[in-house]
Amino acid sequence: MAMEYKTSHKAYAAWNYRQEIEDLNRASEQGWQLVRGGCFFSRFVKNPDVRYRYQMDWRKVEDMGRYIETFREQGWEYVSSTFNGWHFFRKFYDPALKEEDYEIFTDRESLQAMTRRWSRVVMAISAALLAVALIIFIQEIRTPNIPRLFETLILLTACAFLMRGGLLMRSPDTIRRGDNTLLHAFLLFLVVGWTGTMALLILRPDFSIHQYTAELSEPYEDNRFAEFEVYYPDSYYLDLKIDADAPFAFSIVNEAGEAVYSVTGTDIDEENIRIRLKRGKYWFSSSCGAGFELEAYLN
């Protein structure tokens, strides 16, 4: 008879691992036994003839064989491990045993040692995210734009979420049922936030122009080139370098022919010129009467 399997895609906050244990125990009572535990999915096999009680441990293991044997000597069967260091164990359910007999940690200090290990790691990750958010925020102050603002908000939200988890992990006895909903909302926020931010970055004009002419046969006016399209209103930044033998007029013009930025000179070298652009098509435009070299980069 073929074995029946199913996959669960439940996700759990690490500080609410007791909820995951409770769900595994309930699944076992219903005849579904864990084959492989995972961060975003778990694999079960149908076997109503047995019933287990599950436990989880989190740690970096150097000698996996010895680690598993240590738990086996205490009556725990090893099931599987996740890539991020969670290990699943189980023991046959005996209604004659007390609930404390199914605790994988035999004393309070062992449990606190496990939760402190996880808390230290997540606090370190939070500090790293906060540092990156601060760097991006400083850049946002200097050259503000919408994608960078979104990046800062996403990183700060992730930092706050993880720091909260690190603090909650120090009180591991409580099952926080609402936290799984919060976790799913947070993961959705990350996916939507980063996808939206990447889309905004991709849609930004990002190109450079380099023109060099030793001399001109005749002057020209309003020579439009380098057409680009702006898909959303924001602050955009221009690096501009002009070296000309006569006054050189450079502009950015919109579809109506209006100059949204213009400058005239023979020796110009500026970076991060902030230009507020609305949605629509634009062109670079130049007017000159002698030889010149032009370098322009817009992003």
Give me the residue label for tokens 């936290």. 179
pLDDT at 62: 86
Looking at the DSSP bridge assignments, the partners of residue 81 are 87
pLDDT at 17: 83
CA 235 to chain centre: 24
Where in the sequence of the chain do the CATH 2.60.120.260 domains occur?
207-298
pLDDT at 118: 78
CA-based nearest residue to 224, from 296, 294, 287: 287
CA-based nearest residue to 147, from 206, 205, 194, 207: 194
Tokens of 189: 């926020």
Q: Phi and psi of 235, rounded to 5°?
A: -90, 130
pLDDT at 60: 82
Under 8 Å between Cβ of 86 and 15: no
pLDDT at 153: 95
CATH of 207-298 given 3.40.50.720, 2.60.120.260, 3.30.70.20, 3.40.50.150:
2.60.120.260
pLDDT at 141: 93
The contacts of residue 265 (CB under 8 Å, 6+ apart) are 242, 244, 247, 248
CA atoms of 204 and 147, how far apart (whole Å)? 10
Tokens of 235: 């602050």
DSSP-derived letter for residue 84 is T
Under 8 Å between Cβ of 78 and 87: yes
CA atoms of 149 and 160, how far apart (whole Å)? 17
CA atoms of 63 and 119, how far apart (whole Å)? 23
Tokens of 204: 């930004």
What is the side-by-side strand order in the sheet with 42-46?
5-8, 42-46, 32-36
Q: What pTM was estimated for this model as a whole?
A: 0.77
pLDDT at 299: 94
pLDDT tens per residue, the chain (299 residues)?
Answer: 578 989 998 888 878 888 889 999 999 999 999 999 988 889 999 999 999 999 988 888 889 999 999 889 888 999 999 888 889 999 999 888 887 777 776 555 666 777 777 788 888 899 999 999 999 999 999 999 999 999 999 999 999 998 888 887 776 555 566 677 888 889 899 999 999 999 999 999 998 999 999 888 888 888 999 999 999 999 999 999 999 999 999 999 999 999 999 999 999 999 999 999 999 999 999 999 899 999 999 99
pLDDT at 179: 74
